[in-house]
Amino acid sequence: MLVHQKADQGNLKLERGLGEHLPVPELIEDWHWATQLNQARALVFGIEHFRSLFPLNQGTVMWQLNDSWPVVSWAAVDSHGIRKPLWHALKHVYAPRLATVQPREGGLAVVLHNDTDAPLAGALRLRRMTTAGELLAEEPLSVSVPARSAETYTLPEAIARPGDATAEYIQMRAEDAGLDVAAAFGYFVEDTALALVSPAQALSASAKPTDDGVAVTVRATALVKDIALFPDRLDAAASVDSGLITLSAGEEHTFFISGSALDMAALVTAPVLRCANDLLHG
C-alpha cells in the first residue's frame, strides 16, 4: 500500500485529517474504514454547505470520480471499479431534492434545496433524540419550496437546544409519502465526543438470498451512524446498492447485494458490515 501512496507524507495527512472527527485506528481494517468514512463526510459537509447557499452558489465540481490504477487517492471509484463509501455519499448529496441541517445566524436551520421542475411541499417531522433512542422533543414543520429554489427554516428551540450535547442529535424525516426528500441529521459534537452505543447493542443484521444476490437487513435499537457494506471483500465482483445509511432506534434498512460466493455470516459482521459506532468501540 505504501508503494502506491504517492502523496508526500500521504498516510500522515490522512491520519491528521481524522482530527477530532474520528479516532485514529490501530488495525489496518479500521484505518481503511475510518479514512474512507472521513473522506465521504468531508465532501458531504462541503457540498451540503454550498447547496444550502443557493442561489449564491449554483454548483460544485467534485474531484475525482475514478482511478485508472491501484493507488491511495480521493477517487470515489477505485481502479477495479469498486465503489467507495464516497460514491454512495455523492449519490445522496447530489440528489435533486436535499434537506440539510446548517448553522445560521441565531441558531440551527433546515435548508431544503429543490433542484427539480416541480414544487416541493409537505410536512417534515423534527425530532431531538438521545443516542440510546429516547425521544426528547418532537415538532412538525410545514415546508414549501418552489421549483429550482431553496428555502431555509429555523429550527424551533425545543429541537435545536440540547440538554446534553454529547448524547443527543437531531433527526428530520419526511412525514408525507409524497415529500421526496431523504432524512437529514444534525449533531452537536464530533463523533469522538458523542456517546454512540456499541454495535453489539445498537444493531442486528440478517442476510437472505435473492434471485440475483443477497439482501442484508440491518435493524437499529439505538442511533447507528453511517452503516456500510463491503461485499467486495468476499467477491471482487460484488456490489451493493446503497451505503452510509444512518438509522435511529426502531428503524431498519435493507441493502441489496449482487454477486456470487457470498458468505451469509460474513456479510453481517466486520470487516464487511461497518458503521461509525464500531470505530468508537473497537
- Domains of the chain, residue spans: 10-93, 97-193, 199-280
Q: How far apart are CA 175 and CA 123, in angstroms?
A: 5
Kindly report the CATH class assigned to 199-280.
mainly beta
Nearest to 242 by CA among 221, 252, 227, 232: 227
Q: How far apart are CA 45 and CA 90, in angstroms?
A: 11
Q: How far apart are CA 47 and CA 38, in angstroms?
A: 14
For residue 260, name the pLDDT band (cuts at 50, 70, 90). Answer: confident
**Does 38 have pLDDT greater than 90?**
yes
Grid coordinates representing 124?
417534515
More confident residue, 93 or 179: 93
Amino acid at 157: E
Nearest to 275 by CA among 214, 191, 209, 168: 191
| Angle at the Cα of 96 from the Cα atoms of 275 and 190, rounded to 5 degrees | 35
Domain 97-193 and domain 199-280, same fold? Reply is: yes
Q: What is the CA radius of gyration of the chain?
A: 19
Contacts of 9 (CB under 8 A, 6+ apart): none
Say which CATH topology domain 97-193 has. Answer: Immunoglobulin-like (2.60.40)
Instruction: Evaluate whether 178 touches 144 at the Cβ level (below 8 Å).
Output: no
Q: How far apart are CA 27 and CA 271, in angstroms?
A: 11
For residue 7, name the pLDDT band (cuts at 50, 70, 90). Answer: confident
Instruction: Evaluate whether 249 touches 196 at the Cβ level (below 8 Å).
Output: no
Phi, psi torsion values for 106, nearest 5 degrees:
95, 0
User: 94: which DSSP letter?
Assistant: T
**Does 5 have pLDDT greater than 90?**
no
Q: How far apart are CA 178 and CA 202, in angstroms?
A: 30
Q: How far apart are CA 82 and CA 85, in angstroms?
A: 10
Instruction: Evaluate whether 165 touches 189 at the Cβ level (below 8 Å).
Output: yes
| Angle at the Cα of 160 from the Cα atoms of 224 and 202, rounded to 5 degrees | 15
The mean pLDDT of 158-183, rounded to a whole number, is 94
User: 197: which DSSP letter?
Assistant: P
What does the mean pLDDT of the chain come to?
A: 95
- pLDDT single digits (tens) 79-95: 999 999 999 999 999 99
